[in-house]
Each structure stands twice: as structure tokens, then as C-alpha cells.
Structure 1
Amino acid sequence: EFTGYTNLEGETTVVGLLVNGVPSPAATEGDDVEVVLDRTPFYAEGGGQIADQGRIRLHSGAVIEVRDVQQPVPGVSVHKGSVQVGEVTVGASAYASIDVRRRRAIARAHSATHLTHQALRDALGPTAAQAGSENQPGRFRFDFGSPNAVPGTVLTDVEQKINEVLARELEVHAEVMPINEAKRQGAIAEFGEKYGEHVRVVTIGDFSKELCGGTHVGNTAQLGLVKLLGESSIGSGVRRIEALVSVDAYNFLAREHTVVAQLQELVKGRPEELPEKISAMLGKLKDAEKEIEKFRAEKVLQAAAGLVDSARDIRGLALVTGTVQDGTGADDLRRLVLDVRGRIPSDRPAVVALFTTVNGKPLTVIATNEAARERGLKAGELVRTAAKTLGGGGGGKPDVAQGGGQNPEAVGEAIAAVERLVVETA
């Protein structure tokens, strides 16, 4: 028997006991147990509401810490936890008490879920039917049907409507009635749920009426504040709203206020000016980054002429090898290699192999022209030779390839390996 709608604690008797999943007449300190009581104030997980937690104290002095409560079959609540002190036996008298603060926080979240459901239906129509929910201390999530994302303005209106209902201090009450009577009164039923001949109906003033077996506040004013964090898609035609309630909602807004105050100080503007001012600052930052990138690329390419002049002649083939400034990115290194290759007459075989180090890891780009490839020199093979020395790998096309490794100290050896292969092949 569940007594938790009206009692948060009470006398009970242990009528069933499992130890580590096996039926047992007794359990001792440290055992993981599953306990069945003849009556309980603990709410078993169901209807989107998570289970109560708390303690079961036997008259013998034994204590069970309850972490979870499940209902494997209707009417049977299984309390899962561990024995903290003493010995638990079947038939023992006990006193069960739930974590009251936690229950009340969950109840606030559950009542807020009902308000959110009704406010969404008012805004979007009956198609915004509940598709699932989860009520936890201080927060909840609510799933509902919608083919499209909910506009931010609509979400703001829904949040405002919910908080207006809180301020109206509407009474919340529950009543068990025949299901036909519940339908006649317009109570909303959750899609996919199976109901018996009699159902429990939770009514929130003149605002909301739903079939529900969960626990709730007595008055909407007890919620204090509801803050919708946003909505997102979780599947085809199903959206999810996540929200905070009461103190959790207040703490969230307090943190946001602190951030806004800090931004005001940084940009020297009023709250309503922040979006425009920050957008302008980001635009300037992007322009500056483009200028820096352009300058850096130009500086890299300035080395091209000197590299061409440093080319070694290997039986008529121009071989350019060397290192460039650490931190030069792969794209800039590739541009430099191709620029150097382009400065060498096309009728002269040419191989350009340049190396750099980025974030502590060596990188190389090697290019060959058509005349060099006719001599059997392919960029991909040259890169693999270099990368092997560097402790990595690489590859690419015969005309240009890229590779890297793990050992920046081996760059000199990699250059020498490429030069040897060129000399042998040319």
C-alpha cells in the first residue's frame, strides 16, 4: 500500500527481502538489498517522476539506506538500497521515512511539468501532446509532439504564462474518479498509457487537469519560479524542453545576471546594447584575424625567392630542401612549396621538400614537377620516406604530397633521407 500522497513517513513491516538479488530471510550490514514493505511512503519511479530516497529503520536498530524504488508489478514497491547498520529480517517491524526536501523539490518539478504541458497546448494547439517527461529535484524535461522547432518568442510567452499562473496561487488537488468522468471533465491523458476503470486526476486551479499518479505541490505559489532553458529535437516530430524550478531557476538567473554585469563593465554598455556591441566587436576581431592571416601568408611566401636560389643541382635536377618557421600551418606550407616549384622553369626537373614543426610535431610537404616525375621521382614516395624517419606517415599524389610524424628532432635526418632518394633516382 502506498501512503506517500499524505504521509512522508510511517510504521511498516518487512514482508519480502532479497540479498544481492536472491531471496533471503535476513540481511546484514553491507548487504545490497531489495525490500518489500506492507505499506510505504516511498514513491516508486513512474509517470516521469523519479523514485524517492530515504531510510527504513527497524525497531531492532537496523538501518537501510534506500537509493531507488521500482514497481515491477502493480501494487508492489521494491525498495533498493543497502544495510547500513544491524540485521534486517523478514517480518520485522520498521519505520520508513523519505527524504522530504528531495520529495518536495521533485513535486515542484512535476507540477511545473503539468503547467508547461498546458501552456504549450494553449500556444501550439492539441498536437503539442506529451510524449514523455522526467521530473528531478529542481529540474525537469518535457517531451511533446511538434513537427517544427518552437520559435524563441513562443517559448518566452509559454514561460511567462507559467510564471503568471504561479503568481495566481492556484490550489492543486488530486481526486480518484471513474475514467469516463475524468474524460468528461476534459482531463488530459498521456498518449500510450494504459488506464484502469478508476484514475487519479490532478487539477491545478482552472488552468490544468491531467491524469497523473505522481506527487505535487499544494499551491502553484510553492514553485516560486520556472525557467525554460530551451528546446531541441529528440526525434522525428518530437521536441524536448528542459527547465529549472524554484531555487535552481533563481540560481541560474543569478549567474546570468552576474555574467551580464561583467559584460556591461567590459563593453561599457547597457544590457539592451550588449548584443549589438558584442556583434560589432566580433566583426572587428574577424577582420583583424583575416589581416593577420594575410600578413602571415605573405611573410611565408617571401621566403620563396631565397629557397629557389638555394636549389642544389643533381644532374640537371633542381632540389630544394629545408625548414621554415615553426608554427607554419599545412596550408601555408603547401602554398610555399607550390610557389617555389612554380618559380623553377618547367622544362627543368624539380623537387621541393620543405619541413616545419607545428605544436611539437613535424610536418612536411613535397612537390615535384612533370619533368621530375618523368625521371621517376614521385611526391608520394618521397613523403613516405620522410614520414617514416619522422615516426609517422603520409601520402598524396605524384605531384604533391603531405606527411608528418611524432619526432621533431628527426627533421634533419628526414631531409637527408629525401635527398639520398632523389640522388639515387635522378
Structure 2
Amino acid sequence: PEWRLGARQAHSGTHVVHAALREVLGPTALQSGSYNRPGYLRLDYGWTKGLTPAQMHEIEEVSNNALRADLPVSWDYMTLPQAKEWGAIALFGETYDDSKVRVVEIGGPWSRELCGGTHVDHSAQIGTIVVTSEASVGSGNRRIEAYTGVEGFNYLARERDVVSELNLLLKTKSDDVVGRVSDLMERLKAAEKEIARARTAQLLASGGSIAASAVDVNGVQLVAQRVPGVSGGDARTLAQDVRARLGDAPAAVVLIGDADDKVAVVAAVNPAGIAKGVKAGDLIKELAPVVGGRGGGKPDFAQGGGTDVSKIDTALGMVATLVAQA
């Protein structure tokens, strides 16, 4: 009996939400599919754009006002022409023969649909309708989901508990939670930017010592180093800085960074180095597969990535030979 009551609440709730959709959006917002189980419903309907928060709130309010009004729920059998004349809605493009069909109405003409399912006797028996989400399910189709009855109250209770926990964590009141979280997010973004600036400054400060490690390979000043804890974006910045420090003489820079068990390989070559035959893109195409990845780029700059941190030294050991061959 309890299971059946939940099913009746969800099924009648689907009719109520459908009527609320048409009231808020207009008569063209027609159901194209549905699914319900005790305490839960989802309804697919034809519509081309997402609902605004205000529209979702209004649909929920219209639905619950219908429950509060304790509208009578009734059903009758009639021929299909009679049902159409009565204003009943037939769904899903179903075909019907000349036999009688079942029409369920909630609140008279407010909701009249062809339906063979089980329903409550009055709308108030649904208990509550809590709209939880609305999303696209394909071109020209949207889906709205909701909880009914005790499940609806349970959902609201869980939401209340989340807000209560946030109140304790943030030491604020419910009305101030959104503003407080927004403020914290802005401060976090500012802190992350400051950390990024400091990290970049620290990296660039090491550029001089890295450039000083350059060795001559057939007339090309070559830097090939491992930079622990450095990810792709930072490795790119550092490689370009080191290349600039090497001046106008032929130069090539290869840096391999490792951070979070990922490998970043970057190569930067100046115009004089390219004229000697050394190309960054060619270096990366050879080195990236060694560390379990791939990459490429232009003659002056290229980058790649991999996942095999254990092969970084092997890749670095290949750089001088590749430059000499080029």
C-alpha cells in the first residue's frame, strides 16, 4: 500500500507539473515522454531553450498551489473524438482505435490527459512537489525532474542540512551564505593569481643558472635540463626565458618537467639555431614518445607531454645527439 501511494503521488504529480509547464510557458510546452516511480518523476517536453531560475521557481509554485487547492482528481471513459472535443491531451504520437479511452482530469479543464495510470483522489494527497533539475535531452527537448510526497520533504531536509553545515563552517546566517561563499571564491582566485605570479618569478629567477649550463654542440649552445615540479605552462615560460638569455648565437633549449606524475617536454630554438638545422618540432617528435606521450610544434617552439617519469633521463640523454645530427 505504501509503495502504491508513492506511485500514485508521482503519477498525479507528473500531470500537475505538465499542467504547470503549460501555464508558465504556454500551450506548446507539451509532454513528449515521462518516467515516474514512488517519490520521483521526470517529464520530457518540447522546448527549445533552458528554463531560467525564475521560470523553474514559478513552475514549482504553480504546482504546489494546485496541491494546496486540493483539486479533485477524476477519470472517465469516452470515445477519442469526445476526448478531443473535451480538450484532453493525447501524448507521444500514440494511435488509438475507435474504442473508448480513459481521460484523467485534475481540477477540471486545468489538466485533462489521456491516461491509464493510477492516481490520487485529490491533489493534496501528492504532498509536495520539489523541482530539482531541468536540462536538455536532445534538440528541441528538455527534461524536468522532481520529488513528490515524503521524498520531496526528505530532499528539502537534506538541502536544509547542507545549509546548516555551511552556516557553521562560515559562521554566518542562511541569508548570507551565498554572499559569503562568493566573497571566499573571489579571495581564493586572487590568492591563486598571486601564487602563480610568485611561482613564475621564482622560475624566471632560476633562468640565469640554467642558461649558464649551456654546452656547445657543433656550434649550437644547448641547454637540456630536468626541472622537477614544473608543469607544462611553467616549463614553456622558463624555456622561452632561457632561450632569450642565450642571446643571438645559435641556441636550443630543451626542458623536461615532471609534476603530478605527468611529464612536460618543451623545446625552444632561436633563429640562428634554426638556421643551423635545429628545429624544436623535430626534437619534440623524437623525445615525447620516449616518455610515453606525443607532441609537436613549430621550428622555434614545440611542446609535448607524457606519463613515464622514469624515462626523463633517457630522453635528456638523447638531446645532444639529436642536435648534433640536425
Q: How big is each residue's C-alpha offset from its partner over 1:173-231, in whole Å with a ceiling of 9 and x where there is no partner?
A: 22112334333433333262323442211122334222211111122222111111122
> What residue number does 2:187 align with?
284
Match among 303, 306, 320 for residue 402 of structure 1: 303
Match among 32, 47, 67 for residue 166 of structure 1: 67
> Counterpart of 1:351 in structure 2: which amino acid?
A
> Counterpart of 1:248 in structure 2: which amino acid?
E
Whose strand proportion is higher, 1 or 2?
Answer: 1
DSSP-derived class of the 2:228 partner: coil
The structure, 1 or 2, with the larger RCO (C-alpha pairs under 8 Å, 6+ apart) is 2
Supply the distance in 1 between the matched residues of 2:91 and 2:291 (Cα, whole angstroms). Answer: 63
Q: Percent identity?
A: 42
Match among 194, 202, 210 for residue 104 of structure 2: 202
> What residue number does 2:45 align with?
144
> What residue number does 2:244 align with?
342
TM-score (norm 1): 0.71
> What's the CA shift for 1:279?
1.0
Q: How big is each residue's C-alpha offset from its partner over 1:135-161, in whole Å with a ceiling of 9 and x where there is no partner?
A: 222211112233433332222122122
In structure 2, the CA distance between the partners of 1:122 and 1:387, relative to structure 1 (3 Å rule), is: closer
In structure 2, the CA distance between the partners of 1:408 and 1:111, relative to structure 1 (3 Å rule), is: same
Q: Is the 8 A contact 2:33 2:43 kept in 1?
A: yes
**CA-atom RMSD in angstroms:** 2.1
> What residue number does 1:367 align with?
268
Whose helix proportion is higher, 1 or 2?
Answer: 2
Supply the distance in 2 between the matched residues of 1:365 and 1:180 (Cα, whole angstroms). Answer: 74
Supply the distance in 1 between the matched residues of 2:16 and 2:218 (Cα, whole angstroms). Answer: 85
What aligned pairs does 1:310-321 form with structure 2 within 5 A after superposition? Answer: 310-321=213-224
Match among 142, 155, 170 for residue 267 of structure 1: 170
DSSP-derived class of the 1:363 partner: strand
> What's the CA shift for 1:306?
1.2
In structure 2, the CA distance between the partners of 1:389 and 1:168, relative to structure 1 (3 Å rule), is: closer
Match among 230, 234, 237 for residue 332 of structure 1: 234
DSSP-derived class of the 1:324 partner: strand
Match among 102, 108, 119 for residue 3 of structure 2: 102
> Counterpart of 1:166 in structure 2: which amino acid?
L
Match among 124, 130, 133 for residue 230 of structure 1: 133
Number of residues of Structure 1 aligned to a counterpart in Structure 2: 324
Q: How big is each residue's C-alpha offset from its partner over 1:50-102, in whole Å with a ceiling of 9 and x where there is no partner?
A: xxxxxxxxxxxxxxxxxxxxxxxxxxxxxxxxxxxxxxxxxxxxxxxxxx443
> What's the CA shift for 1:170?
2.9
Supply the distance in 2 between the matched residues of 1:359 and 1:155 (Cα, whole angstroms). Answer: 42
Match among 82, 95, 106 for residue 181 of structure 1: 82
Match among 311, 318, 325 for residue 417 of structure 1: 318
Q: Is the 8 A contact 2:217 2:320 kept in 1?
A: no
> What residue number does 2:16 align with?
115
> What's the CA shift for 1:372?
1.7
Q: Is the 8 A contact 2:22 2:29 kept in 1?
A: yes
> What residue number does 2:122 align with?
219
Q: Is the 8 A contact 1:385 1:418 kept in 2?
A: no
> What's the CA shift for 1:315?
4.5
Q: Is the 8 A contact 1:149 1:239 kept in 2?
A: yes
In structure 2, the CA distance between the partners of 1:341 and 1:264, relative to structure 1 (3 Å rule), is: same
TM-score (norm 2): 0.91
DSSP-derived class of the 1:192 partner: coil
Q: Is the 8 A contact 2:228 2:259 kept in 1?
A: no
